[in-house]
Amino acid sequence: MRLFRTVEGIFVEEDGQHYHTGGNSLDTLLSRDDLPEYLAEFIAGTKPTTNLAYGEVLAPIENQEVWAAGVTYFRSRGARMEEAKDAGGGDFYDRVYSAERPELFFKSTASRTVGAGGKVQIRRDARWSVPEPELTLVVSPSGRIVGYTIGNDMSSRDIEGENPLYLPQAKVYNGSCALGPGILVTASPLAQSTEIKLEIERREKVEFAGSVALSELKRDPETLIEYLRRDNSFPAGCFLMTGTGIVPPSSFTLASGDLIRITIEPIGTLENEVA
């Protein structure tokens, strides 16, 4: 079952049929701990409506904060150690990879987030920018995972690598986050064999492609949420990006006009152009 936020309201999609959820906002729905069960019951008693036009889909976010975990894949640990070596950074990325406490940082709000088909941005003062394709947990106010979406944690690697204290500037700016296309609502965890795939197209040619399996994620999603919620509450629920396991080679930087395509099979494909 997938949930789409559109200009016409919130739709549930199942088996190719779409069901309009009436006056529900995403805030109302995501604040339900029983969302998977509630929506299953809702569609069982509702007639499908017209088909959903993809172009009408909006980012699946209202008053939720977006948070992110970092250095949760071995590949990310290596890439950060390399980019921060002149700043003496090798050690702390290695330490956070194996520490009990995960790296968690504030990533975005609705106003900085674009949906499928929207334009993500690279900072004007950055020279080295990459997309980070991340499985993103949809978390209810009480901390239950009620679904999954695809996230792009756009990052300025030169700013991040210069000094770890610059991380918020490397990560949080207008158009630095993409979420979507919709939310896969499910009470079951995703299979460990689930693949996250990234493709970057430039002038109609694939410039970079990579993939990683969820089994490579070092941290347990429930443990990441437990840390995030320590003395921290989310009345409208929240999104938690789980980190990247795909890093393009160091010679690669995004350019205006690039198309970024992130696919996680049961959720869909999140495609964005770089502004």
How many residues line the site for ligand DO4 (CB under 6 A)? Answer: 13
Decide whether 153 or 271 has the Cβ nearer to Mg ion: 153
Residues 230-269 that bind Mg ion (CB under 5 A): 244
Residue 25 vs residues 53, 150, 183, 218, 248: alpha-carbon distances, Å: 19, 20, 14, 34, 37
The listed partner (ligand DO4, Mg ion, none) that binds 76, CB under 5 to 8 Å by sort, is: ligand DO4
Specify which residues 11 forms β-bridges with.
4, 20
Alpha carbon distance 80, 96 (integer Å)? 11
> For Mg ion, what does the binding mask look like between residues 116 and 135, x meaning CB under 5 A?
----------------x---
Contact between 115 and 49 (Cβ < 8 Å)? no
Q: How far is the CB of 60 from Mg ion (least distance, A)?
A: 19
Decide whether 76 or 108 has the Cβ nearer to ligand DO4: 76
Task: Verify binding: residue 136, ligand DO4, rule CB under 6 A.
Answer: no
Beta strands in 53-130 (DSSP E): 57-58, 65-70, 103-108, 113-114, 119-120, 129-130
Task: Verify binding: residue 103, ligand DO4, rule CB under 6 A.
Answer: yes
- Tell me the angle at which helices 74-83 and 90-98 cross, rounded to the nearest 10 degrees: 160
Decide whether 147 or 151 has the Cβ nearer to Mg ion: 151
Q: Enumerate residues 6+ apart whose C-beta is below 8 A from 236.
A: 27, 30, 31, 62, 63, 64, 141
Contact between 29 and 12 (Cβ < 8 Å)? no
The listed partner (ligand DO4, Mg ion, none) that binds 71, CB under 5 to 8 Å by sort, is: ligand DO4
The listed partner (ligand DO4, Mg ion, none) that binds 108, CB under 5 to 8 Å by sort, is: none
Q: How far is the CB of 242 from ligand DO4 (least distance, A)?
A: 8
Sites of contact with ligand DO4 (CB under 6 A) = 68, 70-72, 76, 80, 103, 132, 153, 160, 167, 243-244
Sites of contact with Mg ion (CB under 5 A) = 132, 153, 244
